[in-house]
Amino acid sequence: MTALALTFAGIAALLHVLFFKLESLDWRKPKTWKTFGVASQADADTTASLAFNQGFYNLFLAIGTFVGIGLVALTGDRDTMGWTLIVFACGSMVAAAAVLVSSGGKPYARAAAIQGVAPLVAVVAGLVAAS
């Protein structure tokens, strides 16, 4: 279960680094804002500071996950701090996905699944492995 948890935590962290790149670095590029359903360049420019901030939230969750993975991988299955970081950061990703789908409905279900499935698997497998 540890390998499964660490693998899916790593996938979740990598996805959140990608989200950081899109939201904080590439937001004003037409391909990016169209991906997020933004209607125009003017709207992308207006929302850029919000996206920039959101991107950093994603980056910080990814960093916490990577640190947790490193601690568990280096110190073994019983590393409480590593598992705590993984469960907290990935659990936050799952909660954010739930907020996304609950606030936006069916149009956001795919995005919520992309955001939330890997960290959910990591949390469940991590709790089993750590117990």
Mean pLDDT by 10 residues, the chain (131 residues): 95 98 96 93 95 96 97 84 95 96 89 95 92 78
Q: What is the pTM of this model?
A: 0.92
> Quick one: tokens of 130?
């750590």
**What pLDDT sits at residue 129?**
86
Kind plus residue range of the DSSP H or E element containing 101: helix 80-104
Residue spans per domain, the chain: 2-130
Q: According to the model, what pLDDT value does residue 78 have?
A: 73
**Do the Cβ atoms of 48 and 27 come closer than 8 Å?**
yes
Q: Inter-axis angle of helices 2-20 and 109-130, to 10 degrees?
A: 140
Q: How far apart are CA 66 and CA 82, in angstroms?
A: 9
What is the per-residue pLDDT for 105? 83
What integer pLDDT is reported at residue 104 of this predicted model?
Answer: 81
Helix (H, G, I), strand (E, B) or coil at 79: coil
